[in-house]
A and B are shown apart, each in its own frame.
Chain A
C-alpha cells in the first residue's frame, strides 16, 4: 500500500540518494498526489541548488591567485 504516509521514508532516501529511482507503488501515488510530487521535486531542487551555489564560490581570477599561493607554499616546503 502506498499513500502520503509512505512518502517520508522515501524522501529520507532520496535526500541522501545514491539511488534516485522511485519505487513503482510510490510512482503511481506521485502521479495522483500533487502535494507529495511537489515535496519530491523540492528536495531534488534543493540538492541541485546547493551543488551549483557552492560551485560558484570562486572566480577564475580568484582561482589563479589561490593556485599561485598553493604552489608558492609547496616551493617553500621544497
Chain B
C-alpha cells in the first residue's frame, strides 16, 4: 500500500483530514498503531487488552480531532490518549494489592557469580535480531509489578520525560526517577539470571 509522501508530517496529514480529504485517517492509523500496541502490550501484557487499547485510542482520536489544538505534537497527543486508556484498563484490572518491588538479593555463592558474569552490554543492539533475547527482555518487564512496569514502558518505550510521567501517574519527579531506577535494576537482575540459566 502506498501511504503517500514519506516526508509528510502528522500535522500536515491532520490538516488535510480536517479539510475533508478522504483516505487520510487510515494513514495516521497505520503510522501509529504498532507503537500504540507496543505501549499497551508493555503495560498490560495481554494481546486482547492491547488491541482494545489501540481501538479505543483511535476511536477517541477520531472523535476528538476537532479538539486537537496543536499545542503538542500530534504524536504526543495521541500517545497521551493511549497511555490514559492503558492506565485505565490496568487500574480496572487490578484486584489484589501490589507486592512491593523486591530487588533480588544476592543468591547463593557460585550462582551469583555466574549471573554477574552475564554481560548485558554486547546484547544491547541484538534484540532486533534475536527473538529469544527479545522474549527474555519482555518477560523481565512483564515480571515487574504494575506500577514499576508502567513507568518503565512510558520512559523507555514511549520516551516520555520524567515530568510527563509524573504528571500522568501523579508522582513527583524524584519519585519517578527512583522508581524507574529500581525497575531497571530489577529488569537487569532478572535478565542476567535468565540468560545465565540459558548458558548465554
Contacts and interface: CB of A to CB of B under 8 A. Distances in A.
Interface of A: 11-13, 15-16, 18, 38, 41-58, 63, 66-67, 69-71, 73-74, 77
Interface of B: 25-26, 29-30, 33-34, 37-39, 41-42, 50-51, 54-55, 58-59, 62-63, 120-121, 123-125, 127-128, 131, 133-135, 137-138, 141, 152-153, 155-157, 161-162, 176-178, 180-181, 184-185, 187-188, 191
B137 A53 contact: yes
Contacts of A56: 127-128, 131, 134
Contacts, number: 132
9 contacts: A16-B180, A16-B181, A45-B123, A48-B127, A57-B138, A63-B34, A66-B37, A69-B51, A74-B58
Contact of A44 (B29, B63, B124): B124
B50, B125, B127, B153 — which one has the most chain A CB atoms within 10 A of its CB? B127
A73 B37 CA distance: 16
A52 B137 CA distance: 9
